[in-house]
Amino acid sequence: MGNTTRLLQGDVTDSLIIEKRGATGWITFNDPAKHNAMSYDMWAGVPRALEVFEKDDEVRAVVLTGAGGKAFVSGANISQFDKLRSSEDAVAEYERVGEGAQMAIWNYLKPTIARIDGYCIGGGLGIALCCDVRIASDASSFSIPAGKMGLGYRLTAIRNLVSAVGAANALDIFLTAKRFHAQEALSRGLVQYVTPKEDLDKQLDEYLAMIAANAPLTLQAGKKMIRQFQQIGSDVDVEGMRKLVMGCFASEDYKEGRKAFAEKRAPVFKGK
C-alpha cells in the first residue's frame, strides 16, 4: 500500500480517519462502539477529506470503510436524534449536511470504492451506494430500515438505490425493510463483489491496482458520463418529494418509531 500519511487530524472529528496510503485516499468511519453510526460531525468531515484527495494528483482512487471489523456504517447516530432530528429546523440541517456529504461522494471525480465488512445499514448503505464499486466481505449484511423508524428517505438516496438494483428490487428492499446477507446483496446488485472476510483486503488491493493502471482522465470522463445518465429528470417534482420526506419526519409515526427504538420494542404505526 506504500507509505501511510494521516491527514486533517484535528481539523475533522476523530470519528473520521483520513489517510493517504500510496496512490489511494482512505476515509475510515471510526466509531466502532456505535458500529460507526454517522454523527453530524462525521457527515461534515467527508467532503473536506474528498477535497484534499481531489487536489492530490498522486491519489488515483478513494476507499471508504469502517473501523473495528464489525460495521461499515450502521446508519445515523440515533443518540443525536433528539438534538438534531426532532425539530423541523434540526431535521433540515441534519438532512442538509448528510445530503451534502453523500452528493460529494456521488459526484466525486475519482473512482470511489466502499470496502464493506459487517453492518451496512440505512445511511451506511446510502453511503455505499454513492460509491462507484462496493466490495463486501461474506460477513456483511445490508438493509434500509427507514420503514421501521417512520423517517423520510430522500429522493437522491432512492435514485441511487434504483440505479444500483433496478426498480423492482428497490421496491422489495425498501417496502420490507428486511436485512440481506452478502450473497443475496450480490445477487440483487447492491454490491459488485463478495469475498471471504480474510480475503477482503487482497481483493481490494487487486482492484485498486487495476484502477491505478488505467488512464485517470479516461476513467473520470467515463464516470462523469455514466452519472449524467443517472441524473434526476427535469420532470420529477423535486420539491414535492422533499415535502414528502419532511412530512415523514413531522409525523406521529416518526415519534413512535424513535420511541420504540429507544425502548427496544416493536413500533405501533398508525399512518399519521
Answer whether CATH 3.90.226.10 is correct for domain 4-196+217-229.
Answer: yes
d(C-alpha 151, C-alpha 144), whole Å? 11
Specify the 3-state DSSP secondary structure of 192: coil
pTM of the shown model: 0.92
- What is the phi-psi region of residue 150: left when phi exceeds 0, alpha when psi lies from -120 to 50, beta otherwise? left
Amino acid identity of residue 149, one-letter, is M
Please list the alpha-helical segments (H only) found in the chain. Answer: 40-55, 81-84, 88-106, 123-130, 146-149, 155-176, 182-188, 200-212, 216-229, 238-249, 252-262
d(C-alpha 80, C-alpha 7), whole Å? 26
8 A C-beta contact, residue 76 and residue 102:
no
d(C-alpha 166, C-alpha 190), whole Å? 10
d(C-alpha 219, C-alpha 237), whole Å? 32
Q: Give the model's pLDDT for residue 119.
A: 97
Q: Give the model's pLDDT for residue 1.
A: 47
144-147's contacts with Cβ under 8 Å and 24+ in sequence apart are: 144/173, 144/174, 144/177, 145/75, 145/121, 145/177, 146/122, 146/174, 146/177, 147/174, 147/175, 147/176, 147/177
Q: Give the model's pLDDT for residue 206.
A: 98
Specify the 3-state DSSP secondary structure of 196: coil
8 A C-beta contact, residue 120 and residue 136:
yes
Specify the 3-state DSSP secondary structure of 186: helix
8 A C-beta contact, residue 197 and residue 72:
no
Mean of per-residue pLDDT scores for the chain: 93
Residue 195 pairs with which residues in a beta bridge? 137
Nearest to 140 by CA among 64, 42, 63, 74: 74
Q: Which three cell numbers stand for residue 187?
A: 445477487
Q: Give the model's pLDDT for residue 77.
A: 74
Q: Give the model's pLDDT for residue 50.
A: 98
Nearest to 99 by CA among 43, 152, 50: 43
8 A C-beta contact, residue 232 and residue 161:
no
C-alpha torsion sign, points 172, 135, 155, 150: positive
Q: Which residues of the chain have pLDDT under 70?
A: 1-2, 78-88, 91
